[in-house]
Amino acid sequence: MRNPYTCDNCIYNPSQYLDIGSRMGYCLKHGLLLKNSSHTTCHFFKRKDLPLFLSQEGHKEHANDYPESEGIIFYYSRHPEQERNYSERHVWLTNTFDPYLHEVSIYHRSEKKWVYLQAFLSSRNPIKHIISSSLIRRYMQQCGKKTDNYRLVLSMTNDLKERISMEMEDFRVEMTYEEFDELKENYLKDIVLLKIYGIQEYGSIIEDDKIMWISDELNGALLYSWREFFSYVRQMVPLVQNYVINGAKRRGTFFPDSEGTI
């Protein structure tokens, strides 16, 4: 069983999730490249594979075990990982340019985070799905209750209707066609769930139980085939959107300056 507390499962490393994504990760918390993301961790770790409100206790225990002063370290040996900075010049010279890693590094340097998030939405690419769900969750967690991010959540919810086109090249490990066929369905489900976890986190932040536990609407569909599971998810989308819009209207945050406009 994979260790759920390593960097490849952390929202601060948006371009990877387990065996899928960019060849090398990028930590937004430390601003460093992650060469060994399946074996490293740090004090600030936050899981991708669970909503924040369900994983907080585990995070607290993990943070106590890995003091802040240690930075990025190997999980078992606790030796510090070598610090590596991203260099666009270097990746072009060495023919190792990775568009997903590059996008995340640009996001890290960007001052207009909210605007940049939109570029990762509405895509059929599985890695962009992983990136957008991680970035939006991180952004909402940083904003907390001070900002109602219903617009980002509506966009992320709308993405759930889009089919994901997964190819062998999306994986960062070598595999056979048979292995790819076996893994594909589970990864497709997982990537959709990453966005659902983000929606649930939004529900927790705004204290809306219906959104917080929206996963109950799937009614055990995770056990079905990808086709059946995806059908359940698409049916859930209008319900989530209604919850989000109606809640924002009650709070007076739903496009408050757009009354009377088209």
pLDDT for 52-103, tens place per residue? 999 999 999 999 999 888 899 999 999 999 999 999 999 999 999 999 999 8
Comparison of pLDDT for 107 and 64, the residue scoring more: 64
> What is the pLDDT averaged over residues 199-211?
97
Q: How many helices (H) and strands (E) does the chain have?
A: 9, 6
pTM value is 0.92
> What is the pLDDT averaged over residues 195-218?
96
Per-residue model confidence (pLDDT) at position 114: 66
Per-residue model confidence (pLDDT) at position 191: 95
Per-residue model confidence (pLDDT) at position 258: 64
174: left (phi over 0), alpha (psi -120 to 50) or beta: beta
Per-residue model confidence (pLDDT) at position 233: 96
Q: Decide: residue 172, CB within 10 A, 0-12 exposed, 13-18 middle, 19+ buried.
A: buried
- CA 95 from centroid of its chain's CA atoms: 27
Residue 176: partners with Cβ closer than 8 Å, 6 or more residues away: none
In this predicted structure, the answer to whether residue 126 has a pLDDT above a threshold of 50 is: yes
Confidence of residue 119 (pLDDT cuts 50, 70, 90): low
In this predicted structure, the answer to whether residue 120 has a pLDDT above a threshold of 70 is: no
| % of the chain residues with pLDDT over 70 | 94
Confidence of residue 108 (pLDDT cuts 50, 70, 90): confident
Confidence of residue 262 (pLDDT cuts 50, 70, 90): very low
Q: What confidence tens digit (pLDDT) does each residue in 228-252 have?
A: 999 999 999 999 999 999 999 999 9
What b/e sequence results for 145-168 when a residue is b if at least 16 CB atoms lie within 10 Å of its CB, and e otherwise? eeebbbbbbbbbbebbeeebebee
Q: What confidence tens digit (pLDDT) does each residue in 136-193 have?
A: 999 999 999 889 999 999 999 999 998 999 999 999 999 999 999 989 999 999 999 9
